[in-house]
Structure formats: C-alpha cells, structure tokens
C-alpha cells in the first residue's frame, strides 16, 4: 500500500489541446498537484469537487499526506489529506526534509511490479539460455 507525505502547489488542470479538461458535474474544474518535495502517486489530478471538499485551493502550497485506499473498477485509489498550508518561503526548504519530488507510477500493482514487464523480462531471461 502506498503511503507518503509531500509538499505540492495546487493548479487548475487544463488538459491538452486534443483533450481539454472539463468541469465536473458541480461545475468545478479539476486540479493538478505540482509536487515540490516527497513522493506522490502518478494520479495527481483531482476533480474540482473532491479538491474543494478536501480544502485545496488553486495557487496555494500544501503539505499533504497520501494514502492508498481500496482499488475499485477504475484501478488504484488514493486519498490526499491536507496537513496544512506551507508558506512560499518554507516551500524553498521542503526538499531537504522530504527529499526530491518523486512521481511513482501507480499503473503497477501495489507491490510496485508491473506484471506484464516482469513476464517479459522472465521470457527474455529464459530465451538467453
């Protein structure tokens, strides 16, 4: 199970030219975390409603605790709990406390091993003999 702490800025998610972001059913735009320090799962876009209910505001910097929840039909799920707001000056030093920003690929299973990659590597190892 993934569990970490991070510091991140919250920005409005725009999407891409080919696939622009859309407001959710409550008319709120999604947000994206820009990780400044610590580890974060690669699922860094939240619906605007979830962000609002969690107390995240666009343009602010937060210390955040991330915990993995039970997976559902959409895959691995994560909770982002606001620990508190971080000042811009304090944000300059967070990397020395939490480490460099790391985005963890959570398309892999909870052990961190991508099963299809593992099978391919085993097949390649077998064919070398």
**What's the pLDDT at 109?**
58
Rg (CA), the chain: 17
Which mean pLDDT values do the consecutive 10-residue runs of the chain (129 residues) have? 95 95 97 97 95 97 96 92 96 94 82 40 39
User: By residue range, what is the domain housing residue 23?
Assistant: 3-127
**What's the pLDDT at 108?**
65
Q: CA separation (Å) from 58 to 85, 86, 127? A: 12, 13, 52
Cα gap 101→124, rounded to integer Å: 33
**What's the pLDDT at 88?**
94
Cα gap 27→18, rounded to integer Å: 21
Q: What is the total count of domains within the chain? A: 1
**What's the pLDDT at 74?**
85
């Amino acid at each position: 199970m993934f569990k970490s702490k991070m510091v991140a800025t919250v920005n409005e998610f725009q999407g891409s030219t080919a696939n622009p972001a859309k407001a959710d059913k409550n008319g709120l735009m999604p947000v994206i975390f820009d990780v400044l320090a610590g580890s974060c799962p690669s699922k860094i876009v939240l619906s605007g409603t979830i962000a609002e209910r969690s107390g995240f505001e666009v343009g602010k910097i937060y210390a955040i605790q991330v915990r993995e929840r039970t997976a559902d039909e959409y895959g691995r799920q994560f909770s982002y709990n606001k620990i508190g707001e971080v000042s811009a000056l304090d944000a300059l030093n967070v990397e020395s406390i939490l480490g460099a920003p790391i985005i963890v690929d959570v398309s892999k299973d909870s052990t961190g091993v991508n099963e299809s990659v593992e099978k391919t590597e085993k097949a390649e190892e077998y064919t070398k003999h």
